[in-house]
Amino acid sequence: MTPVEATPASILVVDDDPLNVEMLCAFLEDEGYRTVGAHSGSEAVDLLGHSVPDVILLDVMMPDINGFEVCERLKRAPETRFIPIVLVTALSAREDRVRGIDAGADDFLSKPVDRAELTARTRSLVRLKRSIDELESAERVIQTLAKAIEARDGYTEQHTERVTRRAMALGETIGLPEQSLRVLFHGGMLHDVGKIGIPEAILGWPGGLDDARFAIMQTHPVIGVDICRPLRSTLVQAALPIIRHHHERVDGRGYPDGLAGEEIPLLARIAAISDAYDAMTSDRPYRRGMAPDAALRLLSEGAGTQWDRDLVGAFRSSVGPA
């Protein structure tokens, strides 16, 4: 036996023929993998409710739920959407392959399965899954760091979640597509992560910041980008403009780059409004948070100078209770 990883990867093998399950499991166990067998699509779905494998080998032709349907279901669910799925099939028609791709399959194996091809494809997909897991873990670390910022200042507890929730509501109001909403979620969660690099004395300063202290505070968007840029996640990379530009102003007097109007990325303009509203309605060491109606009036007064006029109007209709 040749170990594949210090922690062996787990493979779920799904086929209504017990002999096929036994054979594929034996091949994979010889390569050092842990295996679990399922003899129907519904049994596989039930197993996935208890544990998540690294790779799924999924027979197409099964009597209860066929492999295409199982694949579609798993790729729709957030908990299982990133598990690599290999469709194992005797079907060779072009339309069957196209249907598998549409269902979200990551690879195909033809029956009868060639052992060398099986192990090579499995090894490749295990590496892919481990890379995805590392990226998700890295994102969780970054988000934990963002939460640590809030822990340093009790006045901003749950600020990140509120900003993200209201930014998402505004994005939905203006009809952003799902992918943009996902980017907006990441940007909202990470927008203030750069405050890790700001001294605690400045974060908790009990009054308005003087020019010197404010100049230091203005560095947090750039610090945030520097922290997040090494992550290879496409969503985090797409969210970098939100992190950098959520303090720009449409009149060009914001920071760090003095962008104006539509030079400011749309998602950053959305986050800026949500961030400002939460800052206005939250308690600070030097003042009490204002009432929602008063905050909305200030947003309206700053529409067209500090914030995007059209987005402020949409925000007024989208904002919910705190």
Look at the chain and report how many structural domains it folds into: 2
Q: What is the CATH number of the domain that holds 44?
A: 3.40.50.2300
Domain assignment present for residue 145? The answer is no
d(CA 126, CA 301): 54
Shared domain for 186 and 122, answered yes or no, is no
Q: What are the residues whose beta carbons fall under 8 Å from the beta carbon of 8, sequence distance 6 or more?
A: 32, 33, 34
Taking each continuous run of H as one helix and of E as one strand, the counts in the chain are: 14, 5
At residue 193, does pLDDT exceed 50? yes
Phi-psi region of 207 (alpha: psi -120 to 50; beta: other; left: phi over 0): left
At residue 116, does pLDDT exceed 50? yes
Cα 92 to chain centroid, rounded: 35
pLDDT band (50, 70, 90) for residue 4: very low
Q: Provide the whole-model pTM.
A: 0.62
Point out the domain boundary residue: 132, 167, 199. Answer: 132
Residue pair 138/233 in contact by the 8 Å Cβ criterion: yes
DSSP 114: P
At residue 36, does pLDDT exceed 70? yes
At residue 237, does pLDDT exceed 70? yes
Shared domain for 224 and 117, answered yes or no, is no
Shared domain for 123 and 163, answered yes or no, is no
* pLDDT of amino acid 198: 86
Please state which of the ranges 144-148, 178-182, 200-204, 208-212 shows the lowest mean pLDDT. Answer: 144-148
Cα 275 to chain centroid, rounded: 20
At residue 153, does pLDDT exceed 60? no
Please state which of the ranges 177-181, 283-287, 293-297 shows the lowest mean pLDDT. Answer: 283-287
Shared domain for 213 and 247, answered yes or no, is yes
pLDDT band (50, 70, 90) for residue 50: confident
Domain that holds residue 125: 10-132
What tokens appear for 225 in the block?
A: 């980008």
What is the number of residues in the chain?
A: 322
